[in-house]
Chain A
Amino acid sequence: MSKVGILGIGIVPARALSSDVSYRELIFEAAVKAYEDAGIEPFDVDTFVSVSEDFNEGVSIFDEYVPDQLGAVLKPVHTISGDGLYGVISVAMQIMTGMFRIGVVEAHSKASNVLNHLKILELALDPVYLRHTGVDPRFLAGLEMRAYMEASGIDAESVARAATHQRTNAIWNPLAAYPGKFSPDDVLLTEVVAEPLTEGMVAQPADGAVVVVLASEDVIRSQKKNQAVWIEGMGFYTSEPSFDTWVWERATYAELSARKAYEMAGISCPSKEISFAEVDSRYAYKMLQHIEACALTDGRNPAQLLRDGFFSKEGTLPVNLSGAHMGIGMMEEATALYQLAFAADQLLGRAGRMQLSDPYRCIIQSWRGLPTRSGATCILSRD
Chain B
Amino acid sequence: MEPKVIRGRDLKRDEFEKALKVEYHPEARYAWDAGYAVGKFLEGLKQGKILGVRCRRCRRILVPPRAFCELCFVPIDEWLELKDTGTVNTFSISYVSMDVKRLEEPEIPAVIEIDGASPGVGILHKLGEVDDPKNVKIGMKVKAVWKPEKERTGAITDILYFKPLEE
Give me the interface of A with B, judged by CB distance under 8 Å: 18-25, 28, 32, 41-43, 55, 58, 67-69, 71, 73, 110, 112-116, 119-120, 123, 127-128, 131
Whether the Cβ atoms of B30 and A67 lie closer than 8 Å is no
User: How many Å from the CB of A74 to the closest CB on chain B?
Assistant: 9
* CB-based contact B28/A58 at 8 Å: yes
Query: In the bound complex, do residue A123 and residue B22 qualify as a contact, i.e. CB atoms below 8 Å apart?
Result: no
CA of A120 to CA of B31 in the docked complex: distance in angstroms?
14
Contacting chain A: which of B6-14, B66-74, B87-95, B103-111? B66-74
**Are B35's CB and A24's CB within 8 A?**
yes
Q: Which residue of A lies closest to B27 (CB)?
A: A119
Shortest Cβ distance from residue A119 to the other chain B in the assembled complex, whole angstroms: 5
CA distance A114 to B36 in the complex (A): 19
Contacting residues of chain B (34-60) with chain A, CB-CB under 8 angstroms = 34-39
Given A113-B31, A119-B27, check contact A22 B37 (CB 8 Å). Answer: yes
**Which chain B residue has the least Cβ–Cβ distance from A55?**
B28
In the complex, the number of residue pairs spanning A and B with C-beta atoms less than 8 Å apart equals: 75
Which chain B residue shows the least CB distance to A72? Answer: B70
Q: Is B73 in contact with A71, judged by CB distance below 8 angstroms?
A: yes
- Taking CB atoms and an 8 Å cut-off, the chain B residues in 61-90 that contact chain A are 66-68, 70-71, 73
Report 8 cross-chain contacts, Cβ distance below 8 Å, ordered by A residue.
A20-B36, A22-B33, A22-B37, A42-B73, A55-B28, A113-B32, A127-B24, A131-B24
Chain B interface residues toward A at CB < 8 A: 22, 24, 26-39, 66-68, 70-71, 73
Contacts A20-B35, A25-B36, A25-B37 given; indicate if A115 touches B66 (C-beta within 8 A). no
Bound Cα distance A113, B34 (Å): 10
A24 contact from B28, B29, B67, Cβ within 8 A: B67
A68-B70, A73-B70 are contacts. A22–B36 as well, Cβ < 8 Å? Answer: yes
**What 9 A-B pairs come out closest when comparing CB atoms?**
A22-B35, A68-B70, A58-B30, A115-B29, A71-B73, A119-B27, A21-B35, A25-B35, A25-B67
Interface pair B70/A67, CB less than 8 Å apart? yes
In the assembled complex, how far is the CB of residue A242 from the closest CB belonging to chain B, in whole angstroms?
A: 16
**How close is B115's CB to chain A, nearest CB, in angstroms?**
24
